[in-house]
Every structure is written in C-alpha cells, then in structure tokens.
Amino acid sequence: MGIFSRMSDIVNSNINALLDSAEDPEKMIRLIIQEMEDTLVEVRSSSARVLADRKTAERKRLRIAQEVNDWEEKAKLAITKGREDLARAALQEKRAIEEELETISAELNSTDEHIEQLNDEVTQLQQKLSDAKAKQKALLMRSQTVHSRMAVKRQIHRSELDEAFSKFDKFERRMDNLEGELDAMDLGREGGLAAEIDALQDDDALNEELEALKQSMQRGESKKADNTKSSDI
C-alpha cells in the first residue's frame, strides 16, 4: 500500500469504531498513534521530494517558454528578411516546443492539485493524531482510576483487614466490659458507704432515745424512793 493511500485510509478511519472493536483499546490506540506518527514522517519526506521535483519542473517550464518566445522572434526576423521558408521552419520548431510546454504545464497543474490535496490530508491527519493522543490520555487516566479502585477494593476485602477489625471489635468489647465492672464496683461501694453512714445516724438517734429513757426511769425511781421515805416518817 502506498504511503498516500495509507494516509488517506487513516484520515478516513473511525478511531472510535476501531477502539470499540479492539480487545485491548490501550494497545490499539498506541498502535494507531504510532502508525500516524510514522506516516506523517514519511509524508513529510515524500512531500519534500515532490516539492523539489516541482521546482525543477517549473524551471524547465520557464526555459521552454523562453524557447517558444525565441523561436517566435526568429520567425519574425526571417519574415522581415524575406525568408518565409526560415520563418515557417522556426514556427514548426515553436509548435513542437509548445506541445512540450503544454505537457509540462499540465503535469505542474496536476502536481499542484496533488500538493494541495496532500496539505489538506496532512492537516486532517495531524488533527486525527491530536484526537488520538487525547483519547489515549483519557484511556490512561481511566485505566489508572480503575486500577486504583481495584486496589482499594482488594484492600477493603482483604481477610487480614477483616481479622484486624474483628480484633479491634473484641478489644473494644473487652474494654466495655472492664469499664462496666469498674462502674459496678464504684456503684456498689457508694451504696454501701451511704448505707453505713445512714446506719450510724440511726444508731446515734437510738442511743439518744435509749439514754433519754434511762434517765427518765432513773428520775422515776428516785422520785419513788423519795415518796417512800416521806411515808415512813
């Protein structure tokens, strides 16, 4: 396949369709970009040769055009000298050279059209290359994101991680139990102390009441004794 035909195929290709049908889109887009870059290098090299050949053909066209003018001037000179035979021969030479000039001019026109078309296709190829690189960048970013997410998922679902969290849970439950026991011990101690203090207060009141009763009984006994003595007298 010729270079210009291959470039035309690339320009007219649908990158999205190629990627959709590829088993490995990243590899496919990398190959597409490589193909485009290689084609651009070859096209520029070929274009340089075409432009050089065109300059050579243009110089030849100018030289032949000058020869046509020269033979016409010679024919005019022959006529002024009364040599129509020489004038006729000069015009014949002129006609032959004009045919060659027409051929070269037609080739130059065709070359110019080809160069113009080539420039358009190179521009399109460069745009395609830019699009392909943008898609490659997007694919790479997407691939990196997917791989990062997969790595995170693997970490989340690791059995070691689950086991570690399970140990954390057990440790937290153990601490909760210990704290509960401490709270229970404090609550029990506070309740016992309060009860003892209340008991002491009740005991003091009972002692006071008992002492008062004793004193009352003693006063009663003393009064009774005094009354007995008075009766005996």
Q: What is the pLDDT of residues 39-97, one digit of tens each?
A: 888 888 888 888 888 999 999 999 999 999 999 999 999 999 999 999 999 999 999 99
- Both 28 and 57 in a single domain? yes
Q: Please give the pLDDT value at position 43.
A: 84
Our count of domains for the chain comes to 2
Q: Are residues 216 and 116 in the same domain?
A: no
Do 8 and 91 have their domain in common? Answer: yes
Winning range, highest mean pLDDT, from 105-109, 112-116, 152-156: 105-109
User: Which of 157, 176, 207 is the C-terminal boundary of a domain?
Assistant: 157
- Cα 67 vs. chain centroid, distance in angstroms? 66
**44 and 15 part of one domain:** yes
Q: In the predicted model, is pLDDT for residue 2 greater than 50?
A: no
Question: How much is the pTM?
Answer: 0.47
Co-location of 111 and 202 in the same domain: no
For residues 101 and 82, membership in a common domain is answered with yes
Question: Which of the listed residues 157, 175, 191 is the one where a domain comes to its end?
Answer: 157
- State which of 126, 157, 188 marks the end of a domain: 157
| Confidence at residue 21, expressed as pLDDT on a 0 to 100 scale | 58
My answer on whether 114 and 214 are in the same domain is: no
- For residues 183 and 80, membership in a common domain is answered with no
Candidate ranges 55-69, 107-121, 135-149; pick with highest mean pLDDT:
55-69
Q: What is the 3-state secondary structure (H, E, C) of the chain?
A: CCHHHHHHHHHCCCHHHHHHHCCCHHHHHHHHHHHHHHHHHHHHHHHHHHHHHHHHHHHHHHHHHHHHHHHHHHHHHHHHCCCHHHHHHHHHHHHHHHHHHHHHHHHHHHHHHHHHHHHHHHHHHHHHHHHHHHHHHHHHHHHHHHHHHHHHHHHHCCHHHHHHHHHHHHHHHHHHHHHHHHHHHHHHHHHHHHHHHHHHHHHHHHHHHHHHHHHHHHHHHHHHHHHHHHHHC
191-229 pLDDT, tens digit per residue, is 555 666 666 666 777 777 777 777 877 877 777 666 666
Residue 15's domain comprises 3-157
